[in-house]
Chain A
Amino acid sequence: MGMDFQVVVLAGGTSKKLLPLVSKEVPKALLPVANRPVLSYVLELLEQSNLKDLIVVVEGEYAALLVGGWISSTYVDRLHVEVAAVPEDVGTTGALRAIAHHLTANDILVVSGDLICDVPPGAVAAAHRRHDAVVTAMLCSAPISGPSESGSSSGKDKAKKPGRHNVIGLDPTKQFLLHIAAGAEVEKDIRIQKSILRAVGEMEIRADLMDAHFYAFKRSVLQEVLNQKETFQSLKQDVLPYLVRSQLRSELLLNGAQAEENGNEKDASQNNKIKLSQLLSNASTPSFHERYALGLKGSASVSRKTHKCCVYIASKSKYCARLNSIQAFSDINRDVTGDASHLSGYSFSAQNNIIHPSAVLGSKTTVGPQCMLGEGSQMGDKCSVKRSVIGRHCRIGSNVKVVNSVVMNHVTIGDGCSIQGSVICSNVQLQERVVLRDCQVGASFVVTSGSEYKGESLARKEKQ
């Protein structure tokens, strides 16, 4: 391929955090956001950047079949995708180990399949190449979670609090990654490498940036780490912190190692090469890695091997979010129909909503701004839809109020229902006068008439 990059999309499987939205029939990758499977956002982004040869890794054989089927039907001529199935719960590193033999290019772009963003992948790749880095991570501002209006009358006000996702240490030029801590470690103390701090002089610690799970790796390094460190399970939690921690005492075999050997055979060509590399290195401001590698005296006798971990910070105007929780699911749906509507790929009507031409609206039914109504859906009279996404072929009765919710395909909603802040999966049947508030209803569930649920997760028991 042109620029010697290969793309791997980690589409996950049936994530436990998203139950009951995901099920055997609907793996996480095919979960609809604004009536499009979430994987389609990643694929569109890559297609726009002319990256047409992809490897999509899915956990679970059945899920892989479903994903593969959807991809080949939708992207038949536009992309060349190879779907690989890996056993469940192997973690991201296991997924990469499984497809290791397919990786041939110089650099690998690893994208998480649940990422929705409009940052061009070329920017990350360019930063990676410019510094000859071993890994480059994309960081974006942490999203603000919670409904933008606290319209729900629940007593607990969901304040707009940016979730604490990562603690990230950057160098003053904001190009290199000095420290990354994620998940549970964030709550406790942070341990920082003194050698790194001493070498760089000044480190900026940010808590408002989020790791977008969009990495560029040097293939040889990635394969070396995966082969040597058998216990590493996750890219984000194990591999990336390991590479960042060891950047100044690198144990990796990099081809074209930075340290020159002070051998005794100094023939003319060797001398010339040394002069050349000195000329080139003198011309540019050395990064703290190079300064550290040369040591205090500047002689190559104390040669320490270093590698670079770069970072690309997405600008604030770009949208970037990951679908990794139910709250995130609602937020992203709201964002894609609202602020980040350019991502959805649809064109909005005059009232700032998308209503499919084949949808039928009853009399006195209002559909507010930032809503979506899918193909073939029918709504009864006197309904009101506010800030919600309704899928295809839904049958909604009269006097139904849908606020701040996501309704997927083939859903039947009886008369007089009121749905607020909930997610209703496909093929669900809600009988009359059901009141749902902040609930998640799994696929094919039947909610009996007159019931009221608040903050619950209703799912059909799997008949296994």
Chain B
Amino acid sequence: MCNWPPTTNKKVGGPSVEVQKERSASLKPLREKTSKAERRALQEAQRAAKAEGSKAPVATSGVLSTNAAPAKATKAPSQKKDSSPGAASERRGGGDRPPDKERKKDVPHPRMQFDDKSRVEKAKKRSVVKQTEARNRVELFRHLPQYEHGTRLPELESKFFQLDPVHPAVYKAGLRYLAGDISGGNARCIAMLEAFQESIKDYSTPPEKALIRDLTAKINCYVSFLIECRPLSISMGNAIRFLKTRIVKLPLTLSESEAKATLLSDIDRFINEKIILADKVIVRHAVTKIRDGDVLLTYGSSSAVEMICLHAHDIGKQFRVVVVDSRPKLEGRLLLHRLVRKGITCTYTHINAVSYIMHEVNRVFLGASSVLSNGTVYSRVGTACVAMVAHQFHVPVLICCEAYKFYERVQLDSICSNELGDPDAISKVPGRKEINYLDDWANRENLQLLNLM
């Protein structure tokens, strides 16, 4: 008669399950008779359990303690339920579900620790896209999500028409992230904001619901979909926070169309002020640091650095650019094309050779995905390497980063948050089919490929 969520059977011990079943079977007719005090007691119990449960994953970073804490927390509410007589929960699995149950519409914590199996299971059940976890994962990076690359896109595609809550523009943006069509902090943020603008334009409040709450719930839904396609970048996270505070601050007296218009103009203003204007200011300032005859070095493809080079060339400065690139993404090539097309003299090299070329260089300009509050710069993998080599050669390094990407987190080492890409991308070399030594890497137990992005 009653539906038990599968996790319950794992967590709660045998005898308590029996007791629950009997009581719930006999309690069905008695439900109306719970007194106010009993209901309040149950509520307190659930609240306390939830507080315990939510504290557990945040406080600890070790694997074992994280595993133990939710288990302990679930024991607690079931025992409390035993003690409160005659109190049956409204929904069958209400008290038995682990206390950190999150309703479907909540955004999962963006930095979920993936070595905790229980949370991974729960997230999988909640997720819109089914993803199979990769085999042969590197132990050091077990706390990060890594999925079989080939399965995500077909899964998402086959569910195209069943993803009702997701607006087509948001869906398209998610697809582009997943397929790797669009990359780079600014571009991803802009694509996401434009998709949100489309969805807000098409949004209409359902009857008997408040615009603010419903719209926030919808945005949360879209955000969790985007996270499943590809983890959010810090710029995107800040933009989402901005949008949510704007929604919450909407005055209640506005009509729906006025509210939507306000939001759309807010998003436009955000993009114009924080991205485009910021880029202009950066360019204007950075160009003063370039003297004639300089040799600049840049790594990867950063939109801010590209703008600086183009503007400096436009105002007539004489300089030369060294573009350093790295596998497997080879993003530097696109930057190289665009610079050469404008007539800037460029040198192209690989990150292996950066120490050979550094002695020619006067200035290093690097882009950043974010700057953290202790001054740490968070950027594409390989940036730290370039910066350290430059430091050895006493070459000044300039980081170009818009202020909206600043983040108040503090990161002490470079392992705790990363994005893991598709390991097959590093085992293959495009255009050289004969290099196939790593083709069956997945079958070798001692070999684990790591693609840090």
List A residues at the B interface (Cβ < 8 Å): 2-5, 49-51, 106, 120-123, 125-127, 129-130, 272, 275-276, 279-280, 282-285, 297-298, 315
Decide: A284 near B160, CB < 8 A? Known: A126-B175, A129-B168: no
7 A-B pairs with the lowest CB-CB distances in the bound complex, closest first: A122-B160, A283-B187, A120-B158, A123-B157, A126-B157, A298-B341, A283-B184
List B residues at the A interface (Cβ < 8 Å): 154, 156-164, 168, 171-172, 175-176, 179, 181-184, 186-188, 190-191, 271-272, 275-276, 279, 301, 303, 306, 334, 338, 341-342
Decide: A283 near B186, CB < 8 A? Known: A3-B171, A129-B172: yes
CA distance in complex: A247, B429 (Å): 31
Question: Which chain B residue shows the least CB distance to A4?
Answer: B168
CA distance in complex: A126, B156 (Å): 8
* Interchain residue pairs with CB less than 8 A apart (16): A50-B161, A120-B157, A122-B158, A125-B157, A125-B160, A126-B156, A129-B175, A272-B276, A276-B190, A276-B276, A279-B190, A280-B182, A280-B187, A282-B306, A283-B183, A315-B154
Task: Flag if B181 contacts A3 (CB, 8 Å).
Answer: no
Task: Flag if B303 contacts A283 (CB, 8 Å).
Answer: yes
CA distance in complex: A2, B161 (Å): 7
| Residues of A close to B172: CB separation below 8 A | 129-130
Task: Flag if B187 contacts A284 (CB, 8 Å).
Answer: yes
Chain A nearest CB, measured from B392 CB (Å): 31
CA distance in complex: A292, B171 (Å): 28
Given contact pairs A126-B171, A130-B181, a sample of 20 additional A-B residue pairs in the complex whose CB atoms are under 8 Å apart: A106-B168, A120-B157, A122-B157, A123-B158, A125-B157, A125-B160, A126-B156, A126-B157, A126-B175, A272-B276, A276-B190, A279-B275, A280-B191, A282-B301, A282-B306, A283-B183, A283-B187, A284-B176, A284-B187, A297-B341
| Residues of A close to B275: CB separation below 8 A | 279
Decide: A279 near B186, CB < 8 A? Known: A130-B181, A284-B181: yes
| Residues of A close to B164: CB separation below 8 A | 2, 50
Task: Flag if A3 contacts B160 (CB, 8 Å).
Answer: yes
Question: Which chain A residue shows the least CB distance to B335?
Answer: A282
CA distance in complex: A106, B202 (Å): 14
Q: Which of B161, B176, B190, B271 sits near A3, CB closer than 8 Å?
A: B161
| Residues of A close to B161: CB separation below 8 A | 2-3, 5, 49-51, 121-122, 125
CA distance in complex: A120, B187 (Å): 31
| Residues of B close to A49: CB separation below 8 A | 160-162
CA distance in complex: A120, B158 (Å): 5
CA distance in complex: A276, B279 (Å): 11
CA distance in complex: A275, B191 (Å): 13
Chain A nearest CB, measured from B417 CB (Å): 22
Task: Flag if A120 contacts B338 (CB, 8 Å).
Answer: no
| Residues of A close to B271: CB separation below 8 A | 276
| Residues of B close to A121: CB separation below 8 A | 160-161
| Residues of B close to A123: CB separation below 8 A | 154, 157-158, 160
| Residues of A close to B190: CB separation below 8 A | 276, 279-280
Task: Flag if B154 contacts A282 (CB, 8 Å).
Answer: no
CA distance in complex: A86, B297 (Å): 67
Question: Which chain B residue shows the least CB distance to A286?
Answer: B334
| Residues of B close to A5: CB separation below 8 A | 161
Question: Which chain B residue shows the least CB distance to A294?
Answer: B341
Task: Flag if B187 contacts A279 (CB, 8 Å).
Answer: yes
Chain B nearest CB, measured from A275 CB (Å): 6
| Residues of A close to B342: CB separation below 8 A | 298
Question: Which chain B residue shows the least CB distance to A1?
Answer: B161
